[in-house]
A and B are shown apart, each in its own frame.
Chain A
Amino acid sequence: MEPSISIRHLDLSFGAVDVLKDLNLDIGKGEFLVLLGSSGCGKSTLLNCVAGLLDVSDGQIFISGRNVTWEEPSKRGIGMVFQSYALYPQMTVEGNLTFGLKNAGMPRAEIAERVERAARILQIEPLLKRKPAALSGGQRQRVAIGRALVRDVDVFLFDEPLSNLDAKLRTDLRAEIKELHQTLGNTMIYVTHDQIEAMTLADRIAIMRGGLILQLDSPKEIYNRPANKYVAGFIGSPSMNFFEGVVDLGGAPVFSCEAGDFDLSGYEFGAAGPQGGPAWLGIRPEHIAHGPDAAACPVRMEATVRLVEPLGSDTLARVQVGERLLWIRLDGQSSIRPGDTLTIGWHAERANLFDSATENRI
Chain B
Amino acid sequence: MVDLTSSVAAGQGARELQGPRGPKPRKVVTRANVLIYGTLIVVSLYYLLPMWVMVMTSLKGMPEIRVGNIFAPPMEITFEPWVKAWSGACTGLNCDGLSRGFWNSVRITLPSVAVSIAIASVNGYALANWRFKGADAFFTILIFGAFIPYQVMLYPMVIMLREVGLYGSLTGLVIVHTVFGMPILTLLFRNYFTSLPEELFKAARVDGAGFWRIYFRIMLPMSLPIFVVAMILQVTGIWNDFLFGVIYTKPDLYPMTVQLNNIVNSVQGVKEYNVNMAATLLTGLVPLFIYFISGKLFVRGIAAGAVKG
Partner-B contacts on A (CB < 8 A): 48, 51-53, 72-75, 78-80, 82-84, 86-90, 99-100, 103-104, 147, 159
B163 sits at the interface (CB 8 A): no
B16 sits at the interface (CB 8 A): no
B199 in contact with A89 (CB, 8 Å): no
Determine how close the nearest CB of chain B comes to the CB of A93; give it in whole angstroms. 14
Q: Which one of A82, A88, A104 contacts B202 once the chains associate, using CB atoms below 8 Å?
A: A82
Closest residue of chain B to A51, judged by CB? B206
Given A99-B217, A104-B208, A147-B207, residue A80 in contact with residue B202 (CB < 8 A): yes
Count the B residues whose beta carbon is within 8 Å of the partner chain — how many?
16
A79 in contact with B206 (CB, 8 Å): yes
A347 and B304 CA atoms in complex are apart in Å by 60
Closest residue of chain B to A78, judged by CB? B206
A100 in contact with B208 (CB, 8 Å): yes
B205 in contact with A99 (CB, 8 Å): no
Q: Which residues of B contact A84 (CB under 8 A)?
A: 197, 199
Q: Which one of B200, B213, B222 contacts A103 once the chains associate, using CB atoms below 8 Å?
A: B213
Q: Which one of A48, A52, A103, A159 contacts B207 once the chains associate, using CB atoms below 8 Å?
A: A103
Extra A-B contacts (9), CB below 8 Å, given A53-B206, A88-B218: A51-B206, A73-B205, A74-B205, A82-B203, A86-B202, A88-B200, A90-B221, A99-B207, A103-B209
A48 and B199 CA atoms in complex are apart in Å by 11
Looking at chain B's contact residues, the main secondary structure is: helix
Number of A-B contacts (CB under 8 A): 61
* B163-205 CB contacts (< 8 Å) to partner A: 197, 199-200, 202-205
Given A89-B222, A90-B222, A103-B213, residue A53 in contact with residue B202 (CB < 8 A): yes
Closest residue of chain B to A76, judged by CB? B206
Closest residue of chain B to A153, judged by CB? B206
Determine how close the nearest CB of chain A comes to the CB of B281; give it in whole angstroms. 40
Given A89-B222, A90-B221, residue A80 in contact with residue B206 (CB < 8 A): yes
Closest residue of chain B to A82, judged by CB? B199
Q: Which residues of A contact B213 (CB under 8 A)?
A: 103
Determine how close the nearest CB of chain A comes to the CB of B134; give it in whole angstroms. 15
Determine how close the nearest CB of chain B comes to the CB of A294; give it in whole angstroms. 38
A74 in contact with B203 (CB, 8 Å): no
Name 8 A/B residue pairs within 8 A (Cβ), A-sorted. Answer: A82-B203, A87-B203, A88-B218, A99-B209, A100-B208, A103-B209, A104-B208, A147-B203
Q: Which residues of A contact B204 (CB under 8 A)?
A: 88, 99
A103 and B217 CA atoms in complex are apart in Å by 11
A250 and B203 CA atoms in complex are apart in Å by 61
Determine how close the nearest CB of chain B comes to the CB of A102; give it in whole angstroms. 9
Q: Which residues of A contact B217 (CB under 8 A)?
A: 88, 99
A86 in contact with B197 (CB, 8 Å): yes
